[in-house]
Amino acid sequence: MILAQFQSIGRDLFTRGLVSSTSGNLSIRLGERMIITRRGSRLGCLEENDLIETGINKNDRSTPLASVELAVHRAIYQETTAQAIVHAHPPHAIALSLTETEIVPGDTEGLSVAGRVPVLGWHMEVRPGGLADIIGQALKQYRIIMVHGHGSFAIGQLLDEAYNCTTVLEESCQVIYLLKSLQVSPAEK
């Protein structure tokens, strides 16, 4: 059942273009442990051996196999009550993260689901697994954040919730992008 959840979300993220062949990662909390996608796994076609169980607070034999974003997932679980995390690379949201310090959806669904989305990592070195503490702290207050020029981290009680937040943010960013290309601000009619 857990594998099927990971496969469904991973496949949807890939087919929607929110991750490339080996980008992005997923995890769920299991008490003091988590299941996270394997380093370099392809979310579009996950298999049983692509799911790695490891500790939230300590390393074990499986830790070296976990995603390069393991430190971020750990920080999020340590700082929040999240039960699931989706890390994706939504292209329109990434484009906006290069020019904006906060993404504010102009559509009703975007505001109600994603809300205001901070862009973290400005004037900092952004690398996989980096900014873990900053991201963990921010997700105490937000459901989703963007990392400058990198991607999004969304939380939920289920993978579906974090996935929904990710897709809604990307759809909102597509609308913002279209409005900007038309040189119309979201407030104009």
DSSP codes of every residue in 125-148: ---TTTTHHHHHHHTTT-SEEEET
Q: Confirm if 127 and 47 have CB atoms less than 8 A apart.
A: no
Per-residue pLDDT of the chain in tens (189 residues, 90 and over written 9) = 899 999 999 999 999 999 999 999 999 999 999 999 999 999 999 999 999 999 999 999 999 999 999 999 999 999 999 999 999 999 999 999 999 999 999 888 888 888 899 999 998 888 877 799 999 999 999 999 999 999 999 999 999 999 999 999 999 999 999 988 898 766 654
- Residue 187: per-residue pLDDT: 63
- Residue 189: per-residue pLDDT: 47
Domains of the chain, start order: 2-181 (3.40.225.10)
For tokens 């669904």, name the residue: 109
- Residue 146: per-residue pLDDT: 97
The angle formed by the CA atoms of residues 52, 114 and 17, to the nearest 5 degrees, is: 55
Which stretches within the chain are classed as H helix?
Answer: 2-15, 70-79, 91-97, 108-113, 132-138, 159-181
Q: Which two tokens stand for residue 66?
A: 């976990």
Q: Confirm if 171 and 110 have CB atoms less than 8 A apart.
A: yes
Strands laid side by side in the 51-55 sheet: 51-55, 33-37, 25-30, 84-88, 151-156, 144-147, 117-120, 102-103
Q: Pseudo-torsion of CA 32, 35, 36, 40, nearest 10°?
A: 130
Phi, psi angles (nearest 5°) of residue 180 = -65, -40
Strand partners, 147: 120, 151
pTM: 0.94
Alpha-carbon distance 182 to 75, whole Å? 40
